[in-house]
């Protein structure tokens, strides 16, 4: 599909600090979410990391609305619930336009979504992740998928200047010097190491896609979670779909299990109870015509095909020829059902115009 405008922003130290402050409030008040349905009970460090992606929600919409010249803002959910069962609200609770609150729903004993008001879920994923997922029980009218490249050690920005004092660094290096006689020169010991710095190298968050709930269910695959008996013993492992990993040119020779002529736009490799998360194939000019190829061989982890016309795969252009596609297993451990889709494919289903149009209609009706 044609290119969409890039929507991105930088994660700042203030965003991280505010997010961590809210998470600490939640950690101290809300014991239900510490275990998240497992036997493991998080200390604050693990809990902090698990909830930190919430900091992206408001900054994303602020940048998104600004880029499209919208004058409204979202009302985001930073409420802390007394009971996990009451956490039924979506991530966006309404809009604020001209200092007027436009509610998408209301709390009584649970969240009630108003008619014709959109339910929205915001999901963020690392740049090096390959698969986008949502819980099957967490339905929405729109899903906002974000991608970030935050440094793995981004929580270092929470530490005060006292933490980065030269005293700590020098004390550690001085101790290393006293230990030199204990190790031979070829020992596997770092003798030079960079001093920690209170700064981020990578901090970008960008919009991958805004998909409608119907499109998300249509283009993703529902994968079942594990099945446990009354004692908690796993009786059936969770489904682990294969996802597309790479494509490269390959000599044109036939392999086992050829599938013959297939339309790559509609190809479905699911067989023998295995599911495949496929990339999006398109003709080079993005037309709706079929994209026929000769599938010369297939297995659990590979697909070989020969094609006589140029094509696009997730927006990237490829010449006609002979190709090998490789797949790898998505190692899920979830005990719940999830919808899964190849992350690099969701961009092709971006429908941001629809959610903006929906917001515009809501604002106009409120005047």
Per-residue pLDDT of the chain (367 residues; tens, 9 = 90+): 456 899 999 999 999 999 999 999 988 887 766 655 444 566 888 888 888 888 999 999 999 999 999 999 999 988 888 766 666 789 999 999 999 999 999 988 788 999 999 999 999 999 999 999 999 999 999 999 999 999 999 999 999 888 998 898 999 989 988 888 888 777 788 877 888 888 889 999 999 999 999 999 999 999 999 888 877 788 888 999 999 999 999 987 667 888 899 999 999 888 767 899 999 999 988 777 899 999 999 888 999 999 999 999 998 999 999 999 999 999 988 889 999 999 999 999 999 999 999 999 999 999 8
Domain span at residue 86 reads 8-154+200-225+339-366
Asked if 257 and 346 sit in the same domain, the reply is: no
Asked if 355 and 268 sit in the same domain, the reply is: no
Asked if 265 and 218 sit in the same domain, the reply is: no
Domain count, the chain: 2
For residue 350, give both structure tokens.
Answer: 């971006």
**Domain annotation covers residue 174:** no
Asked if 269 and 349 sit in the same domain, the reply is: no
Say if CB 217 and CB 339 are below 8 A apart: yes
DSSP-based three-state secondary structure for 272: coil
For residue 289, give both structure tokens.
Answer: 């015509």
**Domain annotation covers residue 279:** yes
> For residues 59 and 8, what is the distance between their CA atoms, to the nearest angstrom?
10
Q: For 117-172, what is the HEC assignment? A: CCCEEEEEEECCCCEEEEECCCCCCEEEEEEECCCCCHHHHHCCCCCCCHHHHHHH
> For residues 191 and 182, what is the distance between their CA atoms, to the nearest angstrom?
13
Asked if 271 and 315 sit in the same domain, the reply is: yes
**Domain annotation covers residue 300:** yes
Asked if 286 and 315 sit in the same domain, the reply is: yes
Asked if 150 and 259 sit in the same domain, the reply is: no
pLDDT of residue 274: 86
> For residues 110 and 126, what is the distance between their CA atoms, to the nearest angstrom?
32
pLDDT of residue 208: 96
pLDDT of residue 34: 64
Per-residue burial over 291-302, b if 16 or more Cβ lie within 10 Å, else e, is: bebbbbbbeeee
Say if CB 203 and CB 151 are below 8 A apart: yes
Cα–Cα distance list, 98 to 71, 77, 185 (Å):
8, 20, 69
Of 355, 336, 350, 276, nearest to 134 (Cα)? 336
Q: Which residue has the tokens 């031979």?
A: 184
pLDDT of residue 68: 96
**Domain annotation covers residue 136:** yes
Asked if 208 and 345 sit in the same domain, the reply is: yes
**Domain annotation covers residue 176:** no
Of 135, 130, 146, 147, nearest to 330 (Cα)? 130
Asked if 92 and 213 sit in the same domain, the reply is: yes
**Domain annotation covers residue 43:** yes
Asked if 249 and 108 sit in the same domain, the reply is: no
Strand order in the sheet with 260-263: 260-263, 292-298, 302-307, 321-329, 242-249, 276-277
Asked if 287 and 360 sit in the same domain, the reply is: no
**Domain annotation covers residue 293:** yes
| The model's pTM | 0.90
Full DSSP string of 312-354: EETTEEE-SEEEEEEEEE-----SS-EEEEEHHHHGGG--HHH
pLDDT of residue 323: 96
**Domain annotation covers residue 247:** yes
Asked if 322 and 358 sit in the same domain, the reply is: no
Q: What is the dihedral of CA 162, 55, 25, 84, to 10 degrees?
A: -150
């Amino acid at each position: 599909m044609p290119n969409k405008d890039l929507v991105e922003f930088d994660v700042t130290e203030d965003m991280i600090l505010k997010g961590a402050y809210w998470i600490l409030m939640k950690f101290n008040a809300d014991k239900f979410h510490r275990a998240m349905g497992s036997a493991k009970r998080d200390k604050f460090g693990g809990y902090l990391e698990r909830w930190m992606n919430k900091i992206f929600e408001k900054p994303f919409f602020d940048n998104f609305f600004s880029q499209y010249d919208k004058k409204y803002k979202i009302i985001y959910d930073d409420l802390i619930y007394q009971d996990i069962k009451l956490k039924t609200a979506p991530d966006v609770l309404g809009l604020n336009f001209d200092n007027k609150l436009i509610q998408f729903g209301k709390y009584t004993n649970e969240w009630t979504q108003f008619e014709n008001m959109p339910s929205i879920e915001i999901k963020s994923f690392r740049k090096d992740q390959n698969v986008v997922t949502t819980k099957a029980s967490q339905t929405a009218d729109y899903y906002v998928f974000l991608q970030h490249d935050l440094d793995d050690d981004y929580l270092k920005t929470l530490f005060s200047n006292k933490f980065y004092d030269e005293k700590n660094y020098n004390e550690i290096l001085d101790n290393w010097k006293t230990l030199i006689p204990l190790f031979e020169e070829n020992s596997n010991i770092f003798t030079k190491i960079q001093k920690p710095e209170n700064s981020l190298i990578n901090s970008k968050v960008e919009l991958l896609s805004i998909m409608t709930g119907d499109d998300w269910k249509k283009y993703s695959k529902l994968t079942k979670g594990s099945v446990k008996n009354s004692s908690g013993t796993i009786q059936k492992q969770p489904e682990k779909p294969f996802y597309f990993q790479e494509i490269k040119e390959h000599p044109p020779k036939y392999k086992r299990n050829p599938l013959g002529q297939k339309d790559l736009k509609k190809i479905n490799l699911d067989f023998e109870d295995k599911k495949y998360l496929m990339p999006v194939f398109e003709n080079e000019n993005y037309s709706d015509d079929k994209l026929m190829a000769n599938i010369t061989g297939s297995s659990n982890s590979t697909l070989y095909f020969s094609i006589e016309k140029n094509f696009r795969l997730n927006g990237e252009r490829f010449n006609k020829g002979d190709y090998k596609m490789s797949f790898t297993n998505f190692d899920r451990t979830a005990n719940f059902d999830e919808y899964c889709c190849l992350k690099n494919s969701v961009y092709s289903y971006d429908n941001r115009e629809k959610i903006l149009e929906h917001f515009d209609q809501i604002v106009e009706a409120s005047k």
